[in-house]
A and B are shown apart, each in its own frame.
Chain A
Amino acid sequence: MRLIKLVRNDVMKQKSGFLWLFILVIPLGTTAAMFLDMYIRYDYLFTMAQKRGLTSWEMLVNENHTMLQWGIFLPIFVAIISAMVHQVEFDRNSWKSLLSLPVTRTSVFISKFITIVLFSSILIVLNAIGLVVVGKVIGFPEPLSIEHYGSYIIHQFVGIFGVAALHNWMSSIFKNQAIPVVIGFIGVIFSSIILYQSFEIAKFSLYLYPFFAGGLQGFDSSVSIYGGIVCGAIITIIGNIEFTRRDIL
């Protein structure tokens, strides 16, 4: 499969790059923060959780997702990953030599999307593993619910499709990768303002699908699945039409 080769190449291009450091350091930070949170406030938080009928593990996900704002910031991390995946092609204008090889533009475009999702997934999985480690170290009384954590990971994984698609397209356009990252940042800020105004409007913002993946009370987490798939597909299709017709100068 040529697509697999392209993805392998895209991953190779990040060898000894900043991207690997990024996706390792971020989860390390979240794990440390969650550990401190649980270490200092566990008794208080657990009492509160019990009143709402939550287990320690569920409470930990909630803390990670809303107190630490992981669900809000994840799209920005995806935007940064996308910027780094595309930066290598702009550095030495490698687009022209890459696209002069016998590859279709579509496969190049899709490969970049898959690479962004791949690196983002590593980030998501490492964050979740960090939570499990925190729970085990603190010594939660309940057994770990693999199902709950698996669903948390999958909802985030699908929830980022929309952001990954949008940023894959934007990053392929701008030579200066700061632009799409700033757009992503603004998108996230605006979306979180809307979030506290109206869920009905908020569910149309692709920057919020990773947030809805948290399975929080009052938010329908299936929105992250539908939204991620629909936005991911539509934006990738439209972006690809533009990308295949673009003049590479």
Chain B
Amino acid sequence: MNQYIIETNKLSKKFGNFIAVDNINLKVPKGEIYGFLGPNGAGKSTTIRMLLGLVRPTNGNVTIFGKPMKECRLEILKKVGSMVEYPSYYGHLTAYENLDLARRILEVDQKEIDRVLEIVKLTDVKNKAVKKFSLGMKQRLGIAQALLGNPELLILDEPTNGLDPSGIHEIRDLICSLPKTQGITVFVSSHILNEIELIANHVGIMKKGKLIFQGTIDELKGKSRTEIRMDVRPAEAALKQLTTKGYTVYQKNGLLNIQDKGINPAHINRELVLNGYDVYQISSQHDTIEDIFLHLTDEKE
């Protein structure tokens, strides 16, 4: 059998004429943190809602733990903890009471509440009404609820949305520790790449409803482009020279840039010097992961 915790097959969702999610095939391996990336409105939330059975797919299907979502929804959801966008809670109830509502439905022991409160460090304020909580605390409560009953899979949609830097840091540490300490698979979405880069080892990138990349962070880095930038004089003549040699060269801010893959800067340098050009400066630039992400999501179809 497969070792994927989440698998979707040609999953699609249309709202009227608008295609929110278009034929995506997600593959989320067991025990990993899978980062689900994409700009706002790329279809991440709709996809997550389909994974949880909140939204009915127009086409395709979702398989979680090797079981079809359509038929085994209850069985699957027993082992899935989730928080979709901002956390939902009943403001006039205390943190403990909020968790107790979910606990009763999940049919787990009352001790579980204390355990998850301990994990998210809310034990001290468990008898305080949630409406008095800060946003970060509400967010942690949301994660505590997702952790109730030791789920095997955690689905978090934008868990650090609206948090301050220290709050983001806390949530990030918490998410990172889960697969190690509890063996949980985590599926986490975000529109901020840096955040995913720090915690995830697998990524899926969405753009306009399509899954445009899926793989490990290293594979994503492999998509990095190299650019050679040089200050050559006279620039115009050098540009002509390099173009006739078959390189794709363009001029920007008085510097020449070559973007071809697998070119050697030493080669270029020698060629220019031997042909009598003066090379004042030559450097090779690699895309940061952010550049790759922007490059992938900005690309024209």
Neighbour of B89 across the interface among A92, A96, A104, CB < 8 A: A92
Query: In the assembled complex, which residues on chain B have CB atoms less than 8 Å from the CB atom of A8?
Result: 104
Binding site for B on A (CB under 8 A): 2, 5-6, 8-9, 12-13, 15-17, 88, 91-104, 245, 247-249
CB-nearest residue of chain A relative to B54? A248
At the interface, yes or no: B25 with Cβ under 8 Å from chain A?
no
Q: Are A9 and B105 interface neighbours, CB within 8 A?
A: yes
Neighbour of A97 across the interface among B82, B97, B100, CB < 8 A: B82
Q: Are B56 and A245 interface neighbours, CB within 8 A?
A: yes
Query: In the assembled complex, which residues on chain B have CB atoms less than 8 Å from the CB atom of A97?
Result: 82-84, 87-88, 102, 142, 145
Binding site for A on B (CB under 8 A): 49, 52-56, 73-75, 77-78, 80, 82-84, 86-93, 97, 100-102, 104-106, 142, 145
Query: In the assembled complex, which residues on chain A have CB atoms less than 8 Å from the CB atom of B74?
Result: 102-104
5 contacts between A and B (CB under 8 A): A12-B101, A13-B101, A91-B90, A97-B145, A248-B55
CB-nearest residue of chain B relative to A98? B88
The CA of A95 and the CA of B49, in the complex, are separated in Å by: 12
Q: Are A5 and B104 interface neighbours, CB within 8 A?
A: yes
Please give me the 9 A-B residue pairs with the lowest Cβ-Cβ distance, nearest first. A94-B88, A248-B54, A102-B77, A97-B88, A247-B55, A102-B78, A92-B88, A100-B52, A102-B74
Query: In the assembled complex, which residues on chain B have CB atoms less than 8 Å from the CB atom of A93?
Result: 86, 88
Neighbour of B54 across the interface among A2, A9, A15, A100, CB < 8 A: A100
Q: Are A248 and B49 interface neighbours, CB within 8 A?
A: yes
The CA of A99 and the CA of B53, in the complex, are separated in Å by: 8
The CA of A98 and the CA of B80, in the complex, are separated in Å by: 13
Other 4 A-B pairs with CB < 8 A, given A12-B101, A15-B92: A9-B105, A16-B92, A92-B86, A102-B74
**Least distance between B203 CB and chain A CB atoms (Å):** 23
The CA of A151 and the CA of B75, in the complex, are separated in Å by: 44
Neighbour of A5 across the interface among B49, B80, B97, B105, CB < 8 A: B105
Neighbour of A92 across the interface among B83, B91, B102, CB < 8 A: B91
The CA of A17 and the CA of B105, in the complex, are separated in Å by: 22
